[in-house]
Amino acid sequence: MQDAVQTVRDFYDRSVEAEYNRIAGRPEFFLTCRYIDRYIKPGDTVLDIGGGPGRYALYLARKGCAVTLLDLSGENVSFAAERAREQNLALRALQGDAREADTLAEGPFDHVLLMGPLYHLLEEAGRVQAVHAALRLLKPGGLLFASFISMGGGLVFLLRELPGQIIDPDEERFLIPLTEGRSYGGAAFTQAFFINQNEVLPFMERFSVEKLHLFGQEGVLAPNEKTVMAQPPEVVAAWTDLAEKLCEKEEYLSWAEHLMYIGRKLPV
């Protein structure tokens, strides 16, 4: 497992700006921010675990929240801290493992984002540990925003970006569990975990949280994202509005690359 952690850390250390720009101007960011804005208000305290180079952390800091970012990659942390200084934003940035978040950050927080670590912890025990650590830092009644890469999302990406890769024998490692209805953890863009969408709610039900939402972060836009985003602004807005209306419907969850669970921490 340590080798997998180092692989993930090295990957993000090498791709800081690419990761920061990855979701800029894309449905994943727009739709996720719409849900974030429903609940996170100026003045709230937020912990962004696995926040990478700070796209969401900086967005929330600009909104007037007191934000702490914690990420595995030291290069991501440095980048986010520098961007905050350039923009005169208050941001506390820490380097560390999500599974140890409760020993690294000082809570409690009004909200905790866990939007990255569950993509890369290959063993279920590690994912459970990360969620427990996040919840220990969350106030009772506070909200947990937890994201997953879905198996359907892996298929969407393959079809949209790398259709020729289906004949690569190495792709069988993903295609076999896909056709068998299982999750997959292992080699991908780096070491990554892709969850079968039907396993998200059973996984989250083991924790002391009340489900508020499970939605596709790109909604139905992921398969044809490039075409949609190249349209005039009013067309993009209309498609984004439709995507928001559909993104919690179970039959459309598999259209998205990422799934977000939002839950309220129950009183002890």
Reported as a single tens digit per residue, the pLDDT across 188-217 is 999 999 999 999 999 999 999 999 999 999
Helix, strand, coil percent content, the chain, rounded in steps of 5: 55, 20, 25
Please tell me the distance from the alpha carbon of residue 9 to that of residue 18, in angstroms, as a whole number: 15
Strands (DSSP E) along 115-249, which ranges?
A: 138-150, 184-187, 191-195, 209-216
Average pLDDT taken over every residue of the chain:
97
Q: What's the angle, vertex CA 84, arms to CA 80 and CA 88, rounded to 5?
A: 175
The whole-number pLDDT of residue 217 equals 98
User: Residue 3: its pLDDT value, please?
Assistant: 84
Per-residue pLDDT of the chain (268 residues; tens, 9 = 90+): 568 899 999 999 999 999 999 999 899 999 999 999 999 999 999 999 999 999 999 999 999 999 999 999 999 999 999 999 999 999 999 999 999 999 999 989 999 999 999 999 999 999 999 999 999 999 999 999 999 999 999 999 999 999 999 999 999 999 999 999 999 999 999 999 999 999 999 999 999 999 999 999 999 999 999 999 999 999 999 999 999 999 999 999 999 999 999 999 999 7
Q: How far apart are CA 2 and CA 149, in angstroms?
A: 21
In tens, the pLDDT along 100-113 reads 999 999 989 999 99
What pLDDT, on a 0 to 100 scale, did the predictor assign at position 52?
97
Could you identify the residue written with the tokens 């999500």?
98
pLDDT given for residue 130 in this prediction: 98
Domain boundaries, the chain: 2-149+195-265
pLDDT value of position 1? 54
Structural fold of domain 2-149+195-265: Rossmann fold (3.40.50)
Amino acid letter at 125? A
* Whole-number pLDDT of residue 268: 76
pTM: 0.96
Q: Where are the beta strands (DSSP E) in 124-208?
A: 138-150, 184-187, 191-195
